């Protein structure tokens, strides 16, 4: 079953509704760079918060970390990124466009048909200079993964957290890769955000923990509302494994351009800690006092992209439906991901309705990200909220002035209920947590 939405529709909705804009838009944009607008920034924060809650706060075996983007250059020599974080690149001898050798067939340029050069290896790390002198000695790299910040802090964290293994260290932050072929909107960009967990385990238990995390991560996407039939697992072939990996499984999503990686869960063995111990001269082994055992831990790494997850959540939530003979575009986001949780909509911009509606807005604001909209017809305002995925609209009408009640409209079922203004936040809170997580059940009972 192909996805029902193409990427152009998502890009256009993102721009129209303030999710994502081209970077430096007024200068014509900058290739593969994107800015998150008012809706996008909320969505992205919600994705990161959901991940952090599941991976750090809901567990007692994982702690968080936030490390520097620029690190000692020795880190990247030890990690193998200077030698091995490369893609084979070919260049067209006529138009000089460069291509990843593994994405072109034959030796003709896909753009102009010109002859291509032999492949040469191209390092994907961005290089810059630290301090005022541009010389080899001051070269630093922008990190291509957040993982290395975790490995070099392993000893600091174990000592200060006083936790025993298995122990996970989680980090969310920007990474940079000078991708040869970025594209597909925010799927592959040169600047993106990682959500990474390095889970340190006793050697010999690594395969068990790899299985555990593969399942856990697949289930997380389902729990966050992604349709199971749009997800699958794929184990890497030996020839695809990254230089540090013993084994790796991708969670793949059915993107409009086909099944593609959403997240990788790798068994990095003891590669990183061994390399950093050797290159820094610091002992990075772990002493298990209870067992009287000393070893270099193995690492299981679930590594996801924030931006790629945002894209998958948007595509999966997207729907076009006919309601009362009118087309509506709707994002059926999981409630916890929706940028705006509730919109307060007075029936019209009327001098009697406005003060009541403003009071309701003030009442809800401290508890939820709330929108207030009194422009245009109520129908158009519902459509706008549907398009940004707002789970609930609260409508204030003339009856509200008499009976002190308002109408709550459900984005998915379109069901409307009338509830007292007093205690409204409790009702919305319960509904946000409640049965609507199973959106399919609601769609089935939808009133058309």
Query: Which residue ranges make up the site for ligand GAP (CB under 6 A)?
Result: 145, 147, 177, 179, 188-189, 192, 194, 196, 261-264, 301, 303-305, 307-308
In terms of CB distance, is 187 or 392 closer to ligand GAP?
Answer: 187
Q: In the complex, which residue's CB is closest to ligand GAP? A: 305
CB 42, min distance to ligand GAP, A: 20
Judged by beta carbon, residue 147 or residue 315, the one nearer ligand GAP is 147
Kindly report the three-state secondary structure assignment for every residue of the chain. Answer: CCCCCCHHHHHHHHHHCCCEEECCHHHCCCCCCEEECHHHHHHHHHHHHHHHHHHHHCCCCEEECCCCCECCHHHHHHCCHHHHCEEEEEEECCCCCEEEHHHCCCCECCCCCCEECCCEEEECCCEEECCCCCCHHHEEEECCCCHHHHHCCHHHHHHHHCCCCCEEEEEEEEEECCCCCCECCCCECCEEEEEEEEEEECCCCHHHHHHHHHHHHHHHHHHCCCCHHHEEEEECCHHHCCCCCCEEEEEEEEECCEEEEEEEEEEEECHHHHHHHHHHCCCCCEEECCCCEEECCEEEEEEEEHHHHHHHHHHHHEEEEEECCEEEEEECCCCCCCCCCEEEEECCCCCCHHHHHHHHHHHHCCCCCEEECCCCCHHHHHHHHHHHCCCEEEEECHHHHHHCEEEEEECCCCCEEEEECCCHHHHHHHHHHCHHHCHHHHHHCCCC
Name the residue nearer to ligand GAP (CB basis): 300 or 353.
300
CB of 264 to ligand GAP, least distance (A): 4
Identity of the residue, 173 or 391, whose beta carbon is nearer to ligand GAP in the bound complex: 173
Of residues 194 and 276, the one with the C-beta less far from ligand GAP: 194
Residue 266 Cβ, how far from ligand GAP at the closest point, in Å? 6
Smallest separation, CB 304 to ligand GAP (Å): 5
Task: Compare residues 183 and 420 and give the one whose CB is closer to ligand GAP.
Answer: 183
Nearest distance from C-beta of residue 189 to ligand GAP, angstroms: 5
- Closest separation between CB of residue 190 and ligand GAP, Å? 7
């Amino acid at each position: 079953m192909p996805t029902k939405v193409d990427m152009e529709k998502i890009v256009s909705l993102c721009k129209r509704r303030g999710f994502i804009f081209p970077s430096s838009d007024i200068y014509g944009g900058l290739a593969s760079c994107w800015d998150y607008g008012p809706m996008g920034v909320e969505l992205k924060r919600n994705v990161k918060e959901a991940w952090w809650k599941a991976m750090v706060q809901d567990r007692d075996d994982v702690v968080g970390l936030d490390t520097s983007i620029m690190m000692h250059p020795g880190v990247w020599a030890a990690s193998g990124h200077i030698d091995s974080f490369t893609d084979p690149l070919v260049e067209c001898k006529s138009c000089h466009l460069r291509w990843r050798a593994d994405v072109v067939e034959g030796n003709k340029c896909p753009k102009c048909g010109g002859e291509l050069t032999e492949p040469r290896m191209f390092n994907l790390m961005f290089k810059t200079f630290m301090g005022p002198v541009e010389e080899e000695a001051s070269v630093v790299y922008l990190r291509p993964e957040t993982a290395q910040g975790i490995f070099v802090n392993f000893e600091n964290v174990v000592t200060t957290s006083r936790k025993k293994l298995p122990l996970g260290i989680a980090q969310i932050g920007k990474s940079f890769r000078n991708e040869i072929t970025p594209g597909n909107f925010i799927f592959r960009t040169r600047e993106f955000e990682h959500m990474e967990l390095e889970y340190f385990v006793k050697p010999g238990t690594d395969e068990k923990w790899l299985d555990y995390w593969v399942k856990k991560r697949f289930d997380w996407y389902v729990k966050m509302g992604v349709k199971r039939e749009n997800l699958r697992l794929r184990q890497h072939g030996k020839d695809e494994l990254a230089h540090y990996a013993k084994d790796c499984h991708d969670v793949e999503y059915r993107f409009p351009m086909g099944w593609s990686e959403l997240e990788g869960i790798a068994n990095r063995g003891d590669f990183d800690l061994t390399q950093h111990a050797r290159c820094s001269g610091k002992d990075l082994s772990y002493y298990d006092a209870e067992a009287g055992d000393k070893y270099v831990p193995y690492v299981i790494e679930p590594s996801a992209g924030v931006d790629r997850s945002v894209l998958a959540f948007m595509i999966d939530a997207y729907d076009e439906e006919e309601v009362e003979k009118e087309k509506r575009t709707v994002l059926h986001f999981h409630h916890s991901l929706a940028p705006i949780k509730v919109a307060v909509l007075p029936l019209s911009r009327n001098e009697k309705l406005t003060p009541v509606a403003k009071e309701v807005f003030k009442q809800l604001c401290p508890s939820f990200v709330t929108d207030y909209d009194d422009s245009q017809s109520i129908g158009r305002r519902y459509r706008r909220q549907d398009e940004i995925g707002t789970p609930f609209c609260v409508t204030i009408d003339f009856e509200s002035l008499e009976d002190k009640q308002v109408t709550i409209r459900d984005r998915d079922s379109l069901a409307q209920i009338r509830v007292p203004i007093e205690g409204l936040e409790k009702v919305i809170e319960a509904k946000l947590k409640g049965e609507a997580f199973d959106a399919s059940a609601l769609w089935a009972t939808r009133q058309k």
